[in-house]
Every structure is written in structure tokens, then in C-alpha cells.
Structure 1
Amino acid sequence: MIFNSRNIEYKSIYGAVKAGDEITFRLLLPNKELGVAITSARLLICNDNDSLIVNKYDLTPTNEYKDECQFWEVKYLAKEPGLYWYCFEYQASSITWQVYKGNYSTGYINIPENKWQLTVYDDAQTIPDDWKGGIMYQIFPDRFYNSGSKKLMLFDRKMRPWGEMPAFEEDLEFEVWNNDYQGGDLKGIEEKLPYVKELGVDIIYLNPIFEAHSNHRYNTADYTKIDSFLGTENDFIELCMAAHKMGIKIILDGVFSHTGDDSIYFNKKNRYDSVGAYNSADSEYYPWYKFERWPDKFISWWGIEDLPEVNEMEESYIEFICGEDGILAKWLRLGADGWRLDVADELPDEFIKLIRARIKQVKPDALLIGEVWEDASNKTAYGIRRQYLLGDELDSVTNYPFKNAIIDFIVNDDAEFFMDKILTITENYPKEIVDTLMNPLGTHDTVRILTRLSGEDCEGAAKNREWQSTLTLSETAREHAKKRLKIAAAIQYTLPGFPSIYYGDEIGMEGGKDPFNRKAFPWGDLDMDLLGFFENLGKIRQNNRLIFKDAPFVPISGADGCIAYAREKDGNSRHSIILIANRSLDTINYCLPEYVQKPTKLLGDAKIIDNLVLLPPESFVILENIWIYKKQHREDRY
């Protein structure tokens, strides 16, 4: 092996580095005894902002040898935050050879150009420890629990009985979607806090709660008010106080890339007494929007006309959202502990920086999460490379890459793909962010995880809303999907970051895409087997929080439908947690590495005989152990 960026024998600091860090890069090259005369070797590195300028640094031979090859090395000082790309070249027998990134981050010659990524971030970024090692619970407010409080009915809202199928066709009377409600509210959430706490949850993420005229409330009408169906501002304050007494933080959903057209600010439907941007070009809100021809032609989010886009860098909008007494500050002061930014890709980097600056000024330990579906370290949106993770923007992201890796492993039995995807994220992201990743298996935007793990993805023209409205798993399919969900959740709960439970996944709610993934919580029909399982996972995290808080991810193996990894702390011998999952249809006799001694089973169906773990088909085990390290076993610690 010439080079591997995931092995500290070749790159002295694993993953992203802080500005000011010095990294030692090493190549393992043939020496003269093998009949190859290496005359020079170089590191080639460029800043993503100017990829045409390539800086070259000479490697020098060392006195260290391995497998009849010699190490060459160079020390590189990472001076400024940014995204960098690097590769190597060396000269032998008057021929120059390029070393590029191949499979699993290993260096190869004679392959197409593919450079390694180096993320350099601001060393000032720190995230409070009390966010790390926790468990998140996501609540879609209208469908969680109805406290019975009286709702003031509006003319265009329809109240449905709790548990009824969500409306899935356009409402012909009002020509809008999502105007059916089932009455979940903030008082209902407060009443159910003990249930949530039993899961080990210490973070609740609420989908939008501000006044809006849809059940999902992503079409904000008034950022300053709680939607009347959910309650009052005082209800919000009391919810936060009750949650805090139970050690639970509250994160709000910030929808700042667009508003609703039926809002105080745009007022297309003349619901409000305000003069909205649609009503007059002299409106104070007119500069907020992107009119191409006032009033009827304007840019809207993804072409959806009832979601007009805002100009985030308009001075009055910045002041409204990010000002000293703006929306961010108001709700933090009333009790919120952080924000999740909806569609972060739609928000300019400078706007996110202003959001971060304000929330950290108001509440220094607040958390800022961005909705990003891909690798957030190198994401390009609208032709611009984003700067989410360089230290002055996000603390965390919605970690869909982990979700996709888990589902792919469970559904497609690809252990190698899983391990590579997990290591790609841990390698590209700053460690502080890795430790606070929001790791969902399902959200309000995806097929319910139990349905998805049954093998159903609800894709294709034939699987339309009408078809999805009749989708129910058979008893056999449900039991199989539950078995798979337990494996997926065991993985989710042991990876870096914090697991995020989408309300109802813990009791096996089924459903396809929106709106079938947003059904009312069936409080009278809980799957107690699954619920007990998730409660046990929560106890494992609570009892081992020091490990799950920030312990490195240590891959053990990933092949033949079986993955194994550990979360281990530094030291010569240390308390560790090990996960082994067998996705194959065969029983696996897994031989633990020799440095794992007398593990204790915490959860799972496996049998342990000395250092042999017997894993039935489609099963997992979580082990607790004291690791006795040997030097060679500590080179790959992520």
C-alpha cells in the first residue's frame, strides 16, 4: 500500500484538521533493493477556491521501512480554513508516477485522476459537551398528541378525527393541500414528555410551530406567533420549562428561505390587514421578495407558487430574522435551545454566518443544525461550494449519508459500501461536528423506516398517492421489517453523533411518502416489543454516555454481509462498545480480534463462546468490553 488517508501511519491526523495544525504525510515506496530507484516524491495540494494553483512540497526518505519498502514523508502546515485537494507524484527510472485516491481512500498509480479531500476548519469552533452523546426525538406537532384544548376553527381548516388517514388529494373547495388537521398541540407534547423521556431522549426537534396555513407549517405566515391550533406563546414557554426540568432541550425549525404567500409579509390572499408585498410595491416587505414582474411573477421555492422565495441578504429581512430583537433571539429567550435550518442549501453562506453569530450571542450553548442531504463538507449548491463546516456556520447537519448507508446495508447487504460511507463522513467532517451529527432513519420527508425496510421505497408512477393510501404491511412482512429495524436502530444508536427518532418509528408506524409518513400517533395501539427495544437502546446510551459523547469510531471489519466496529476512548486499555451486525441469511461465527477480551453482551441475539460470537441470520449484538491495545491495532481509529 502506497498511501491511505484513513491510516495515521500515512497521514498523522485522521480526518479534518484545525487551521494551524501540522500534518505529516507519508508514502511507502519501493527501495533500491527491489530494483527501483526513487529519485523524488512530492505532495501536490490546491485550495478549492483556486484549483489552478497547485503547491508542491518535496517528500524526503526516512530510515523507516515496511514490507521491503521505504517511507518518504513531508510535514504540511494547514494555515487557513478551507477545502483542499491533494495527491502525490514520484519519479522512478526517469518516469513520473501520479498517486491518486482509489477505493477505500487507498492510493494507487495508473488510475484516473481522483484527489483526496482535506477539510481545514477554524480552531475556534467548539460545541458544548451536553449536546454530545444524547438522543433526539422529532415531532410533527399536529400529529403527536391532542391535549383536548379548544381550537379556534378557521374557515379553510378542516379538523379530522384522530387517527384518520391524512388527506392525500387536492382540496377542490379551497385549492390547497395540507389543510386537514388532527389537533396535536404544544400542551399535548408537554403531557407526553414522560413518555419521550422514557426513551432516553434529551433533545426534541419540533417541525415548524409558527403561524401558517397548512398542517406542516413550512409556509410561514407570522414568525412572531405560535400557530393558534398549537397553542399560545405561553404554552411554548411552559413546554420549554417542563422539558428543561426533565433534562430535555428544544430545537425549533427555522424556515427562512421562503414564506407562505398567505402571510403577513406577502398577503396574496388578503387574509391580513397588513400591506403585503403582493398588495403594493410600496410595502415594507416588497424588498424581501424576488419579483420579476410585480405582482404576479415572482421566484418561488422550487416553483411552488404559494412559497415565494425571500432575498435573505435584504437588510430589513436580516434585521427581522437576525437582529438583536429579531426572530432568532425572541424564541431563544423564550426557551428554545437551538435551531434547525430548513433547506440550508437555499440560504447564502453569509446569511447562515449571521444566524450563527446571533444565536451564539444570545445563547452561547445553542445548537445550529442545517438540513443538508449530501456530504455537507463538499456540497455544491447552485454552482457555489458551500462553507457549512469550516467553523463559522453550522454545528451539525441532518446526516442523511449515514441513514442511506444503514438502509443500503440492511436492504442490499453491502457491508463494504456501508463502512466506506461511514468513514467518508468521519474523514471529511470536523470531529466536533461528527460528535453532534443528527442521525435519522426516517423524517417527515422520507418513507417510514419500517415500510422502507420491508423493501418498499414507494418509487415509480404506479405507486402514486392513491396506491400508497392502501399500503399496509402483511403480518409476515411487518415482523421481518421489525427484525431489520432492530438491526438498523442498533447501528444508528452506536454510530458517532446522536440518533434522531422520528415520532412513531419506535412503535412501528408504517407509511409511504408525504402525507402517509405524517399520520397521527396511535396512542392506543403501541407495539410494546419495539417500544421496549428502543427504551433498552436508550439505556445503553445513557449508561455509556462518556463513550457515545465523543469516542472515536474504530472499524473492525466490513465484508460478506457483516459489519463490526467499536467506539473506543483513548488509553492503553479502556471501556469500549462494539457493534456486530449480520445482514446475511446465514449464521456467522465471528471471531473477535485477539485484543478483545471477555466481552459482555448488552443487547442482541448472539451467543458468545470465549472470543467467538455466533450471529444468527439478520441479527446484531452490542458488546461491552475492556480493550487491551497493541500498537498495530490502534492505527485505524476514527
Structure 2
Amino acid sequence: MFDSMNPVFRNPVGAVPAGQTIHFKINPPRGLRCSAARTEILCDQTGERVTLGMFWCGMDGDDREWWECDFQVPAAGLYFYHFSLETGRGAVGLFRAPNGGGKSTLAGAGAPWQITAYSPELKTPDWLAGGVIYQIFPDRFYSSGTPKSAVPADRRMHAAWTEEPEWRPDEKGEITNSDYFGGDLRGIEEKLPYLSALGVTCIYLNPIFEAHSNHRYNTADYEKIDPLLGNEADFVSLCRTARRSGIRILLDGVFSHTGSDSVYFNSLGRYAPDGACQSRQSPYAGWYEFTSWPGVYKCWWGIKTLPNVRETEPTFNAFINGPAGVVRKWLALGAAGWRLDVADELPDAFLDALHEAARAEKGDALVLGEVWEDASNKAAYGQRRRYLLGGQLDSVMNYPYRAAILGYLTGRPAEEAMEVFLSVVENYPPQALRLLMNHIGTHDTERALTLLGGMALDGRGRAWQSSARLSPEERGLALLRLRLAAAVQFTLPGVPCIYYGDEAGLEGCRDPFNRRTFPWGREDRELTEWYRALGGIRASCPCLKEGAFYPIAAEGGLLAYCRQDTTGALLCAVNRGPERRTLQLEERWSAARVLLSSGGRQTRPAASKLWLEGNSCILLYLEPD
């Protein structure tokens, strides 16, 4: 009776700019004896409820009828709607059907549909659309071997690149993350040809500023490159050389907390004696919230080495977002944008100021946030966030896609994955949708290959994880599945993000085992070639940049969809099950050419049918008429 993804029923579909008029139509059966119909709308930001009477507008054949109305979206924000009908059986409602891809179910109550209304001035950078992101954990990617200066004496260097990351607690029972392999900025620059061959257009670097841990999320000095990674000149060189290769650098901004061992807090006395825990007259004293100075203070998730900052405190906000602040400094030196750590813990006012600072320094600067849920309707700390409505985040890390892809390939029904894909497409502004960071693993998660091999942690600790490896049979299955996962990742709306080493076949459970060194000289070359082929497809198929998304099939282990614009259409079909499956297609696909396939011999459709072997996928491309 209604389908929010079909312009016959809702026009236009998807997120809309404020001020847009949306036309709604419902199509109840005549036998329901509908005598009145209404569209019920809740304005999320104000709590106001709007009821719109729908007009009977004619018959659809002999047994269905049409009711319609218009709604002009008054302002940016979220709106939730359903339909109420007066029928021969009494009052009933039309709500969103579970796993229905936007279709309706007739019930007394249920889930509403969402309208995302964004600012008409919303604009996001063009340069990332259609590209490929590559995430690098700097200490573990590649070491140039260049001697470094001013490296703190308390850092423990591994003797060999191939050693395991340190995971055992120290004598105090603490995990300090203070072991290093020596990956550096010059090493990344040396490997730019390798990244270019993968089709990479953007490198996302985990934190590179001075910090006293290998992950560097405990910032010690926002204005200096960590000495093990190099210096400011090395950073400028990396940005310039990468840019000549068509690659831009995205930095990790950790602004919700600092390290306790930092210029600003200085709990260990490493720096000059004017840190916030040493003097109440410190210029940084107002940045932190002490319950009992100096030893009791608010910290990130209760971790004492990560004291929280008060982001909207004027001197901190100016230090980060001011004309001479951190955000603008590193953009001026060559960075293309910022990925914001724990964006849901940053206040709206701070995000507004950061976005303004980034755009003031560089008109096409990217501001991308870490948000694990649907960022269009995320609520954090008691309030609905407005990340994607304009003036805050250009886009986000797409964790919902990750969960859907990996869940589908390890046994969840394709219907569930398709529902996630369609929900994101419907809820996100198109300007943000085209820039979504579509990853299947990061430094915060298990390696995709490990999960796809069926390895479950089941609460096991680091001792077990340190020696956990996939068996040859498990690894073989995981490699098949990873190809399928990458094919989906590279063809969904947004931008695929490769976590360093995934394309080389790295395994690993959680931190630190998902942060092993890149296996140079020991790569799975066939897997790497698969990723290179996908990168080439991204570069050669313009429809993957901003093309519309159309579902074709989602049934059990079979998943298929199309991306299409005026330049052509790409079909991705996946069979994650063990049995051969047949996919019925439109006649036009018989003229398509095969771009890439896995799992045995694949041919283009014959008589509108496509055959998919078990654990296989195929990508077809159709030129425009």
C-alpha cells in the first residue's frame, strides 16, 4: 500500500532539503472500505504533531484506490510519519514493515518512516566521491629506516618487524601500549606507488601527533609530529608527494580527551612544570574538570591516562578551532581534512566551530566523524544529534554497513543486509551518502578475515587471542568470503575504506592483534590483485560515484543490487551459500559485460538469467542505451 523508496508513493524519496514539498500516495485495496485517510507526522526537534488529511484521487484498476496529500518540510531536522485509515474494520495504521525495504504493513501500531531534512546550503567536498580510502596505523605500516631524533628513552622498540605486538601486562598489571615497530611518515611516502596501484585516493592516518603510546590516542602535543614518525617537514613532503599521485591525507583528530602524560596535563612531569595537574594557575587548568585537584578528575571511559577536556571552554576551543589553531595549522601544511574520534562525545557547538575553521582554511576540507550507529538519527547524552544536517560533519564512518556485510557473509539472511543498505540510503542526505567511509574493519575491530573465517572470541582473553589463527580450511573459506565482502564494500553508495593489510591477508582478533605489522614480502598476492581490480572498477565506473541504488534480490544467501546513473549501470550479485543459485534479471542485462567474478566460471546473463556458484560474486557493467 506504500513504499517510501518508490517515487510513485513518496516523491521525492530519501532525505530532502528544508522547504521541500513531499507528495505522499497510498494504495489501499478497495475491499478495505477506506472512508478516510490521514498522514500523521511528528516533528522530532519540537515534538509538534501534524495531521494531514489525504484526498481520494481515483481508482487503480478495479480493486485498489489512491489517496494522496502534500507535506512541505518546514525546517531542517527529523520527521517521523505513518498513515492512519478509517476502514470497514475500524481504525488501522500503515507502518514500516520489518525488513521490508521501505514497504508498509497494516497494523494497529508499529515503526514509522523517517524524513531527514537538511539545510539547503549543505555542501560536501567533491574530491572524495568515487574514490578509495586506505587506513594506516602508522607504527605498523612501513619503516623507512631513517634515524630519528628526540625519541623518548622509555619507548621499547621491537627487534624485528615480524614480531608479535606486545600484549602482556607490565609489572603493575597494566597494558601500556608502549612497544613500537618504527613505522614512519617517510615509509608511507615510499609506499605511495603501492597504494596508487590499489586505486587509493585518500589515506586516513591514525593519530600522528606526539603521544606516549603506539596508538597515539593519548595526545601529548597537538602541534608536533611524534618523533618516531618523523617531523613536520616529513609530513609536508608526504602530503605534497601524495597529492601529485592523486592521493589526499586525512588526519585523526582526538579532541574529546588528551593524554595525562602531555604538555597540557603533565601528570608525569615530562614537560615544563605548568600542566593542569601541577598548577591551578596553569593556562590549561580550565581544560579539565577536577573533582578533587590534582588526583581526581573526569576521564574518558574511566581511563585515568585519558583526562577528558571541556571542549567548549574558550581557551581550548580557540586552541583547536581558532585562526591559529590546530585544525587550521595542519590543513595549511597539506592535510585534506579531519576524521574526528568519538564524534558523539563532542558538543554541537564545538563541532560547529571545527567545521567552520576547517572550511575557512581550505574550502574543500573534509570533516568526517566516528559514529557507530545510524548517524542521521543518533541520540547521544540525552539529545538528538544533527551531524549531517549542515555545518557539522560531511559524513561518517559507516559501521552499519560493516555489520550488515559481515553478518550476511557469516550466515545472516540477505534480507537483513538489504534493509540496512536501504535504510542508510533513505535516511542520509545524498551529500553525505556519497562520502560514507565504508569499512569492514578498523583498528577498533577484529580483522575482517578472522571474522569471516568463523572465529568467535566468546569472551576469550588476550592470551588466547595472541595465538589464535585460522586453520587452513577456515582461512580458505575466509578468503573466499573476503572477496565477496570487498566486492560489496566497493560497490555500495559511499567510499570503500581498506584497513591496511586486509588486502594482503592479515588476520587478527582485537587490539593489539588487529594491529600487526604489514606483511611485506609475505602478502597474499591473489587477494591483493582482487583489491586492485576493484580499485580499477571504482576509477572506471562513474556510476559508483553518485549513482542511484536499486535492490534487485535479497533472499537467504542471495544478494543483488544495481548502481546506475546516466553514464551506465553496474550490477553486483553475490551468492554466499554453498549451492548454485539462479538470479532472474531484466532483459537489458544480457548485453552487459563482466567486470569481475569469483567462484568458478562466470558468464554474462543468458535469457535474462544469471547463474552464481556457491560463495561467488559477479560484477556486470551495462553501457547506456
TM-score by length of 2: 0.96
Residues 364 and 416 of structure 1: CA distance in aligned 2, closer, same or farther (over 3 Å) = same
Q: Counterparts in 2 of 1:536-551, with a 5 A limit?
A: 536-544=533-541, 546-551=542-547
Task: Report whether the alignment pairs 1:591 with 2:570.
Answer: no
Instruction: Letter of the 2:144 partner, please give it.
Output: S
Which residue of structure 2 lines up, in the alignment, with residue 114 of structure 1? 111
SS at match of 2:124: coil
Across the aligned residues of Structure 1 and Structure 2, the Cα RMSD in angstroms comes to 1.5
SS in 2 for 1:129: coil
Match in the other structure for 1:277: 276
For 1:142, the equivalent position in structure 2 comes to 139
1:527 aligns with 2:524: yes
Deviation, 1:37, is 4.1
How far apart in 2 are the matches of 1:238 and 1:42? 62
Is contact 1:595-1:627 (8 Å) kept? Answer: no
Using the TM superposition, name which of 66-75 and 175-184 deviates more: 66-75
Query: Alpha-carbon deviations, 1:75-100, whole Å to 9, x = none?
Result: 11112000111111122349322222
Distance 1:598 1:577 in 2: 12
Match of 1:75 among 46, 70, 79: 70
Contact 1:129 1:549 in 2 (8 A): no
Structure 1 position 41 matched with structure 2 position 37 = yes
Aligned residues of 2:450 and 2:507 also touching (Cα < 8 A):
yes
Is the 8 Å Cα contact of residues 596 and 626 (structure 1) preserved in structure 2?
Answer: no
- Asked if 1:369 corresponds to 2:368, the answer is yes
Q: CA deviation at 1:473?
A: 1.6
591, 609, 612: which one pairs with 1:612?
A: 609
What's the counterpart of residue 378 of structure 1? 377
Say which of 148, 156, 170 aligns to 1:151.
Answer: 148
Amino acid at match of 1:524: G
1:252 aligns with 2:245: no
- Who is 1:168 aligned against? 167
The structural deviation recorded for 1:277 is: 0.7
In the other structure, the counterpart of 2:91 is 96
The alpha-carbon deviation at position 498 of structure 1 amounts to: 0.6
> Which residue in the other structure is 2:347 paired with?
348
Deviates more, 1:351-360 or 1:102-111: 102-111
Deviations for 1:296-323, whole angstroms, at most 9, x for unmatched residues?
A: 1111000000000000010001100000
After superposition, the C-alpha distances for 1:106-144 in whole angstroms (9 at most, x for unaligned) are 222324332111110011112232210000000000001
Q: Secondary structure at the match of 2:577?
A: coil
Counterpart residue identity of residue 84, structure 1: Y
SS of equivalent to 1:330: helix
Equivalence for 1:512: 509
Q: Distance in 2 between matches of 1:216 and 1:128?
A: 28
The equivalent of 2:223 in structure 1 is 224
1:483 equivalent in structure 2 = 480
Determine the C-alpha separation between the residues in 2 that align with 1:308 and 1:413.
40
Aligned to 2:3: 4
Deviation of 1:176 (Å): 5.0
Shift of 1:390: 0.8
Alpha-carbon separation, structure 2, partners of 1:584 and 1:269: 56
| 2:53 maps to which of 55, 58, 65 | 58
Partners of 1:9 and 1:458 lie apart in 2 by 47
CA distance in 1, matches of 2:354, 2:260: 24
Look up the match of 1:576.
569
Change (3 A) 1:67 1:132: farther
In 2, Cα distance between equivalents of 1:499 and 1:419: 17
Cα deviations across residues 51-90 of structure 1 (Å, max 9, x unaligned)?
3x31111111113525621111111111200011111112
The aligned amino acid for 2:93 is: Q
Percent sequence identity over aligned pairs: 45
AA paired with 1:475?
A: P
Q: Tell me by how many angstroms 1:49 deviates.
A: 2.1
In structure 1, give the amino acid aligned to 2:157.
M
Letter paired with 2:253: G
Distance across 2 between alignment mates of 1:262 and 1:292:
19
> Are 1:565 and 2:565 counterparts?
no
Contact 2:455 2:470 in 1 (8 A): no
Check conservation: 2:167, 2:175, Cα contact below 8 A.
Answer: no
Deviation at 1:594, TM superposition (A): 2.6
Amino acid at match of 1:309: N
Q: Which moved more, 1:240-249 or 1:581-590?
A: 581-590
Aligned residues: 617
Aligned-pair CA distance for 1:377: 0.8
Report the AA paired with residue 56 of structure 1: T
Secondary structure class of the residue paired with 1:162: coil
Mapped partners of 2:62, 2:353: distance in 1:
53
- Alpha-carbon deviation of 1:346? 0.7
Distance 1:346 1:459, change over 3 A: farther
State how far apart, in whole Å, the 2-side matches of 1:515 and 1:397 are: 24
Q: Distance in 1 between matches of 2:13 and 2:218?
A: 42
Contact 2:93-2:109 within 8 A present in 1 as well = no
Shift of 1:528: 0.7
List alignment gaps of at least 5 residues for structure 1.
629-638
Q: Distance in 1 between matches of 2:22 and 2:196?
A: 43
Question: Aligned letter for 1:538?
Answer: G
Change (3 A) 1:199 1:61: same
Letter in 2 for 1:112: A
Distance between the aligned counterparts of 2:514 and 2:165, measured in 1? 9
Matched, 1:130 2:123: no
- SS of residue matched to 1:620: strand
Residue type of the alignment partner of 2:54:
L
CA distance in 2, matches of 1:592, 1:323: 55
State the 1:7 CA deviation: 1.4
In 2, Cα distance between equivalents of 1:597 and 1:608: 6
Letter in structure 1 aligned against 2:595: L
What is the deviation of 1:609?
5.0
SS of 1:45's equivalent? strand
- Report the AA paired with residue 61 of structure 1: W
SS of equivalent to 1:373? coil
In structure 2, C-alpha distance between the alignment counterparts of 1:325 and 1:21, rounded to whole Å: 39
Whole-angstrom distance in 1 between the partners of 2:425 and 2:111: 19
Matching residue's letter, 1:25: F
The answer (yes or no) to whether the contact 1:17–1:121 under 8 Å persists in 2 is yes
SS of the aligned residue for 2:562 comes to strand
In the alignment, is the contact (CA less than 8 A) between 1:260 and 1:308 conserved in 2? yes
Secondary structure of residue in 2 paired with 1:109: strand
Q: CA deviation at 1:626?
A: 3.7
Distance 2:61 2:363 in 1: 49
1:191 aligns with 2:190: yes
What is aligned with 2:287? 288
Between 291-300 and 322-331, report the one with greater CA deviation. 291-300
Mapping 1:391-410, distance limit 5 Å: 391-410=390-409
Answer yes or no: is 1:440 the counterpart of 2:435.
no
| Offset of residue 274 of structure 1 | 4.1
Deviation per CA, 1:583-616: give whole Å up to 9, x if none.
1110112222234232211111323352322211
> Which amino acid is 1:586 matched to?
E
- 1:485: how far off? 0.3
Runs of 4+ in 1 over 6 A off after TM superposition: none
TM-score (norm 1): 0.94
Change beyond 3 A, Cα 1:579–1:172: same
CA contact (8 A) 2:126 2:364 kept: no
Kindly provide the amino acid, as one letter, of the partner of residue 97 in structure 1: V
Contact 2:454–2:474 (CA<8 Å) still a contact in 1?
A: no
Contact 2:92–2:108, Cα closer than 8 Å, also in 1: no
The question of whether the paired residues in 2 share the 8 Å contact of 1:124 and 1:391 is answered with yes
Distance, in Å, in 1 between the alignment partners of 2:592 and 2:174 is 61
- Aligned to 2:330, the other structure's residue is in SS state helix
